[in-house]
A and B are shown apart, each in its own frame.
Chain A
Amino acid sequence: MRKWLEPVITAWTGIATHKLRSFLTTLGIVIGVAAVITLMSVGKGAEAQILANIKSLGSNLITIYPGAIMAFGVRGGASQTLTIQDAEAISQQVPYISAVAPAYSSRLQLIAGNKNTNAQVTGTTPQYLAVNNLKVAQGSFFTDDDYQRGNKVVVLGATVAEDLFAGTSPIGQQIRMGTVIARVIGVLESKGAMFGSPDEAVLMPLTAMQQAVAQPRTPQGGKIVSSISLTVTDEKYTEEVIASIKSLLRTRHKLSDFAEDDFNIMSTEQLASTLSEAIGTMTLLLGAIAAISLLVGGIGVMNIMLVSVLERTREIGIRKALGAKERDIWGQFLIEAAMLCLAGGIIGVILGWSVAFIIRSTGTMTTLVTADIVFLAVSVSVGIGLFFGFYPAWNASRLNPIEALRAE
């Protein structure tokens, strides 16, 4: 028998002797590790999904919103400062821009036949399709010609189309929004995204939109828009483009050097990094909460190891009489604690993974188990075993052999 194997076998015998007790001790670690894995996988899954959604918005996308920037990317105020003229100026004066799409949105009641729904109707330009990385599933998008003439045509998001025209083809059908009757010419391809989903969108030429709702104007007479989105020809120009737009808009809005921006420029990259940072923090928080149960499990291991040492005082005396050194005894109990926790860690990983898998299969949440979480959870659990096994093992190793032999 190999020499390094003997302490492991001894430790295993110690564990196997008290099966139920070892199982219950391990359970604390199992639950802790499983909780860490499950919660972290939910967090990671959410992060991955949101990043994918943002990517699907188009990676070169820059969006300008009116209003001052606030902490954590939350826009404050309801200022109406962006105008169609701003969009035109940007399109003409800022380099490296492939398309600009100003948009004005308003919530309207849509009626088609006997069905109706409330939707965010967006008036925009034909460039909107390309800028926002959208595709048309049925029919077509409105053209420059529709835009120039102010034709009352709409393109529906997949969900809206389903709500209003369940089962039948919406192309060519009419819907009523307020006083305006518009003809459906296309349906967007579903993205199934959670974030700013185009599935809920109703798009029409901004010129036609102006007939349905009164588009507000600035004191200077500019037609106000809700946002201006644009795409950069290449990702590497993003920073430069943002800077150019910023200075152009500040000049156009006649802001003094000390005034804050009255608009907010957001690129997809910024959005992605802001969101993934926020989710990362939340994932960490979830993990930390789960880690507390791991700590409690570790204390359970220590407790049982102390009992076990006490119970096996005589055994320790016998081993010492047979020539066991302090480090032999110390090693025996430490390995035992580490094995308990390793087993707990492995079972916990399997359990946590299964739970993550079940959550994913039920479709409630996306989960993602990554190798680093598994590695972390298992090594932390072994670390806990070593940490909480240290004191009991040290106690055992320091027993006086004569007194230990006398113990009952």
Chain B
Amino acid sequence: MIRLENITKTYRMGKQELTVLSGISLEVQKGELVAIMGPSGSGKTTLLNIIGCLDSPTSGKYVLDGREVSQLKGSELAEVRGRKIGFVFQSFNLLPRLSALANVELGMRYAGGIERRRAIEALSRVGLGDRLHHKPTELSGGEQQRVAIARALVKNPPLILADEPTGNLDSRAGAEVLSILKSLHAEQGITLIMITHDPNVARHCQRIIHLRDGQVVREERP
């Protein structure tokens, strides 16, 4: 599903160069559930952004689903994001003015077109079938994150990327969100990569990749 070969990412800040990723090689199989752990500044989010086609690597090769995407430009990357990748963010990133249903429909908007029926299905799937017309501010944190998951899920992507999906949630809501993500993986065979700080969350994954200073230092399979 994902093959990274010697990926580097350097940011130029004035005259200084800041290396965030220095030579990451990684393979993720279809249907895997992977956690990425590491201290702040270890490059987790940058790595996830590159995997999610939000950013391009400075050098190295990235093959997603059999297609090399490391050299693609803005609109081609957008196309790949739209078709293949669902994002779940730590801070939910729902549009505050739109209802839960409209937020989920937005997930289809740039990936082939809106079908209300599927949006309702996706919300039911995350247990919010009765909250369709609530605005994000009328929902709890856990519910908002479930809407975000429904939004990622609704276009039926092969890959879902989650950046600390439980980071802003209390333990009960976090557990709920985690169990939904796990069931998506288990039932629909979606490839799921998530960043987490919490070893208890990482424990649920098949594979844990530890990053430090922009490099993979350790891998484990719990």
Contact = CB atoms under 8 A, between A and B. Distances in A.
A318 B106 CA distance: 10
Interface stretch (A59-67, A103-111, A267-275, A325-333): A325-333
Given A6-B114, A405-B89, A325 B95 contact: no
Interface in B22-76: 49, 52, 54-55, 74-75
Contacts of B94: 318
A325 B78 contact: yes
Interface string A317-328: 111111111111
A402 interface: yes
A16 to B, nearest CB: 9
A1 B114 contact: yes
B151 A322 contact: yes
A117 B3 CA distance: 105
B97 A318 contact: no
Contact of A319 (B89, B97, B106, B113): B106
B131 interface: no
A321 B54 contact: yes
Given A327-B75, A402-B54, A322 B49 contact: no
A321 to B, nearest CB: 5
A321 B87 contact: yes
Given A6-B109, A6-B114, A318-B95, A401 B54 contact: yes
B107 interface: yes
Contacts of A314: 93
A326 B54 CA distance: 13
Contact of A405 (B93, B97, B109): B93
A309 to B, nearest CB: 15
Interface string B82-112: 1100010100011101100000001101110
Contact of B74 (A1, A326, A405): A326
Nearest to B93: A318
Given A315-B95, A401-B54, A322 B83 contact: no
A1 B109 CA distance: 11
Contacts of B146: none
Interface string A290-319: 000000000000000000000000110111
Contacts of B116: 1
Give the interface centre of A3, A321, A323, A327 by most chain B CB atoms within 10 Å: A323
A314 B92 CA distance: 12
Nearest to A1: B114
Contact of A321 (B79, B81, B98, B113): B81
A114 B82 CA distance: 95
Interface in B132-165: 151
A324 B114 contact: no
A322 B75 contact: no
B38 to A, nearest CB: 18
Contact of B81 (A1, A323, A326): A323
12 contacts: A317-B93, A318-B93, A319-B109, A321-B93, A322-B81, A322-B107, A323-B78, A323-B81, A323-B83, A326-B78, A327-B75, A402-B55
Interface of A: 1, 3, 6, 13, 17, 314-315, 317-328, 401-402, 405
Given A320-B81, A322-B111, A402-B54, 4 more contacts: A319-B110, A321-B52, A323-B82, A328-B110
